[in-house]
Amino acid sequence: MERNAKKPENALPPLPMTRAELEARGIARLDFVLVTGDAYIDHPSFGAAIIGRTLESRGYTVGIIAQPDWHSAEPFRALGKPRLAFLITSGNMDSMVNHYTSSRKRRSDDAYTPGGKAGARPDRAAIVYAHRAREAYKGVPIILGGIEASLRRFAHYDYWDDKVRRSVLVDAVADFVVYGMAERAVVELADALASGLRPRDITYVAGTAFQTQSLENIYDYTLIESYDEVAADKPAYARAFLKQYEEQDPVRGKRLVQPHGSGFVVVNPPAMPLNSTELDEVYALPYTRRPHPSYDKHIPALDEVEFSLASCRGCFGACSFCALTFHQGRIVQSRSHASLTEEAKLLTRQPGFKGYIHDVGGPTANFRRPACKRQLEEGACKNRQCLGFTPCKRVDADHSDYVALLKKLRAVEGVKRVFVRSGVRYDYAMLDRDDAFLRELVGHHVSGQLKVAPEHVDDRVLRLMGKPSAALYERFLQKYKAINRALDKEQFIVPYFMSSHPGSDLNSAVELALFLKRTGQRPEQVQDFYPTPGTLSTCMYYTGLDPRTMEKVYVPRSYEEKAMQRALMQYFMPQHRAMARKALVKAGREDLIGFHKNALVPPERESALPPRGRRKG
């Protein structure tokens, strides 16, 4: 297949997926077998490839079992018994999010599967795969990783079961979870296992969680509310979550212990983030950057990242509905300019490259440095957000490094345009006293439309979301338009808004609809709030409490109210008019039904008439 025809000059063969490939590489027995719910793409945008190549670079042998048939243990024996451990991940996405929409409807596609077809992995893949691996080879240590396991390391509210579930460690009967961006932790675990240590004696690795029946040899820990307590009492759940949230820091974070029945789940503090040199090394590993050659169908997930550059990790944006705090952490790490320009040169030699780098970014594209100088020495503040609704005074908003990087990438021979398509925090950009970044962005790096995520306009909701005020968004819109005019460009904003977030009632949704009408914005897609594990917003959704203050939070739960909030955000679409009218009546805003200039929707009877049949006046 042409898409798989070439690989970079420094690439090694892909990690083996068959016995024949093991024999060709002279491997009698693998150190690790990595089981993933995704198809295997040997590219640094995919966790299995990064972890596999990282271990390989340290001298360990790793084989891949991708999307195995989980109905028996036999597919888990395909590469033989690993010497050190099974590494198990559900893939780049949580398997439940991968399978179900926010309304719990089954999805029909899967971008991480050849042909884009759904159904190649089970629900709760990390748990299912762990049980099959244990069945295949008893006594082999099992290490869980990836987003699904990472965010379920504590007892957690599960939206799909609508109840609190135990730690994934307990349900999977696994030895470890490596959480977050796990290169450092997985190498340390590998070295410990290779030295002959038993899993039960490896209690010290930062960025890992494990089970124990006794706390006799566990030191310097904070005991948090037990699984039984948080499953039975919502305030207890909120208190436990806040402790997890506050200690999620590699510098000052504490070891947390959560009782589960007669045993304990121990979660060590996060691993220190990689420095620039270490991050460069990860991205310089000899990836083929292609799907494994055994695949004969296109894998859609590669499209978004094939000609993009990951410049940073971590995010201090503090969005309540985002799990990045519990996964990549709040301390931003960046690759060097040399590393990124070298990868840009590599892209120009890839088959299919047409001169366009699709993105240069990360969780937040314009974060290339820690929020303030204190973070690397003292950690992120325990009880203060860097941005959120009101930014911390210590935030050092400076885009000079990012601007310099973008200029260098534009100058690479063979590159025609460099776009920025991952999230841009406009509040951080507005904090920068120099408009150089916005001018650079508008002048060179927007492909007609800039995507930003104000999420809402009701300040009560925005405070709960950890997003800046609506007034700041409006100031940003004006500045963006002014810079476009000054540069003689006509480019637009594509805003993302969210319906039914905790705190958002029908009055909030009406306020948002009126804002959209006033500013002429018509969102084609609306995202319902999706309560996924590991977020502050999910804690609010489940408990009805803001864990930071223990104040009550209104939570829209019924399907009908969620549908009404969505309809108000898309009031201009004929198919949503009936539901929008119902919402306006319920909110006591019948004044917005009619044909006057402030109306959102026409009356029901008039709405059904063709344009000529409507009465005037």
pLDDT digits (tens, 9 = 90+) for 167-179: 999 999 999 999 9
Which of 321-325's residues contact partners 24+ apart within 8 Å by CB, and which partners?
A: 321/465, 321/498, 321/501, 321/529, 321/530, 321/535, 321/536, 321/537, 321/538, 322/535, 323/147, 323/151, 323/532, 323/533, 323/534, 323/535, 324/363, 325/245, 325/248, 325/534, 325/536
Give the global pTM. Answer: 0.94
Percentage of the chain beyond pLDDT 90 is 90
Q: In the numeric block, which tokens belong to residue 239?
A: 């208190």
Amino acid at 249: D
CB 528 within 8 A of CB 520: no
> So where are the chain's domains?
2-267, 307-447
**What confidence score (pLDDT) does residue 469 get?**
95
Pairing of strands 156-158, 163-165: antiparallel
CB 314 within 8 A of CB 331: yes
pLDDT digits (tens, 9 = 90+) for 78-132: 999 999 999 999 999 999 999 999 999 999 999 999 999 999 999 999 999 999 9
Letter string b/e over residues 556-571, b meaning 16 or more CB atoms within 10 A of that residue's CB:
beeeebbbbbbbbbbb
Q: What is the 3-state secondary structure (H, E, C) of 461-520?
A: HHHHHCCCCHHHHHHHHHHHHHHHHHCCCCCEEEEEEEECCCCCCHHHHHHHHHHHHHHC
Assign a CATH topology to domain 307-447: Transcription Regulator spoIIAA (3.30.750)
**What confidence score (pLDDT) does residue 614 get?**
47
pLDDT digits (tens, 9 = 90+) for 437-478: 999 999 999 989 998 999 999 999 999 999 999 999 999 999
Please, which pLDDT band fits residue 611 given cuts at 50, 70 and 90? low
**What confidence score (pLDDT) does residue 156 get?**
98
Please, which pLDDT band fits residue 526 given cuts at 50, 70 and 90? confident
pLDDT digits (tens, 9 = 90+) for 560-601: 999 999 999 999 999 999 999 999 999 999 999 999 999 999
The more confident residue out of 355 and 519 is 355
Query: How many other β-carbons are positioned within 10 Å of the β-carbon of residue 41?
Result: 27
Query: How many other β-carbons are positioned within 10 Å of the β-carbon of residue 202?
Result: 19
